Amino acid sequence: MKKEKTAKGFTLVQRQRVAGWGFLTPATLLITIMSFYPIIQAFITSFKTGSSANMQWAEPLLYNFTRMFKDKIFMRSVGNTFLYLIIQVPIMLVLALLLAYLLNNKDIKLKGLFRTCIFLPCATSLVSYSLIFKSLFATQGLVNSVLTGLGIFQENFNFLGTPWSAKAIIIIALIWRWTGYNMVFYLAAMQNIDYSVYEAASLDGSSAWHTFWHITVPLLRPTIIMTVIMSINGTLQLFDESMNLTSGGPANSTITMSHYIYNISFGQGVANFGYASALSFFVFVLVAVLALINMKVGDTRD
């Protein structure tokens, strides 16, 4: 049986393929021009040194990549970023999971209000919420006024001027903003679990904790892996909090890798795009490796 021909001599399948490529081509060109081409150019730039107007190939070629391991400020930024990652991500995800579990209970009243209130911080601008926390924890801010008024502090404490407290504020700010974001993913995944599963567990005498740990968590495993990967990715690229809350201070004690890359590129007078590009690819490799580890650990298929 011969395939039907259109007026222009194309079969229906051929017309569909042409139409498909017609829709894909503009997006493919934009992604290539706006994403892949800059990535390739950045990789080439990472092997160069000098100012942006007079860049030359580095001697030796891997100079920028070896230099970063001798850069004390960058190593400090790596340590700071991983400190935020190790402390903030587990606390945030556990809180998000517990809140989602509580708000998934069909017997709770005003669930919509509670869900909205918890998610609202995520809708706040990154710059806005950083400035809010900066004003709250300022030396003459609300937190100091409350603590001194209650007699807990005898005098105002410089939260943003002390290394350990400045790091703690960044961690608190991150937890406040992103917990609701991850809660929405867990809540959506929980609502896809048939409620009869929980009813059967209840009839079998399963406690709330046993049901949560042995039923809910295993069924949420793919979602948990996804949120872990996204949270790690986001924390390794942390910029706004370091920039707007503490400006990386005091004495670079809270600076993150992305903030330091920004300073190298735009914040220190003469831009050193070669070194900044090398640092960016270091961050890219970290993100890729940690994401791969999470995927391998979370993959339970035979």
Query: What pLDDT, on the 0 to 100 scale, is given for residue 267?
Result: 74
Angle between helices 72-103 and 163-190 (to 10 degrees): 40
Pair of tokens at residue 195: 């409620």
Q: Per DSSP, what are the bridge partners of residue 57? A: 48
CB 202 within 8 A of CB 118: no
Query: What pLDDT, on the 0 to 100 scale, is given for residue 207?
Result: 79
The CA-atom distances, in angstroms, between 127 and each of 103, 112, 124, 237 are 29, 27, 8, 15
**What is the Cα 116 distance to its own chain's centre?**
21
Query: What pLDDT, on the 0 to 100 scale, is given for residue 5?
Result: 53
Question: Rounded to 10 degrees, what is the CA torsion of 71, 75, 78, 80?
Answer: -120
CB 121 within 8 A of CB 234: no
How far apart are alpha carbons 182 and 100 in whole angstroms? 9
C-alpha closest to that of 47 among 37, 36, 62:
62
Mean pLDDT by 10 residues, the chain (302 residues): 55 85 90 89 89 82 91 94 94 93 82 86 85 89 90 89 92 93 92 81 80 84 89 90 88 92 82 89 89 75 52
Query: What pLDDT, on the 0 to 100 scale, is given for residue 9?
Result: 67
Query: What pLDDT, on the 0 to 100 scale, is given for residue 16?
Result: 85
For 249-283, give one letter per residue: b (16+ CB within 10 A) or e: eeebbbbbbbbbbbbbbeeeeeebbbbbbbbbbbb
Enumerate long-range contacts of 189-197, CB under 8 Å, 24 or more apart.
189/219, 189/220, 189/222, 189/223, 190/100, 190/101, 190/104, 190/216, 190/220, 191/104, 193/219, 195/106
Pair of tokens at residue 266: 């735009």
How far apart are alpha carbons 45 and 291 in whole angstroms? 26
Query: What pLDDT, on the 0 to 100 scale, is given for residue 54?
Result: 80
C-alpha distance across the termini of the chain, in Å: 45
DSSP conformation class of 105 = -
For 290-302, give one letter per residue: b (16+ CB within 10 A) or e: bbeebeeeeeeee
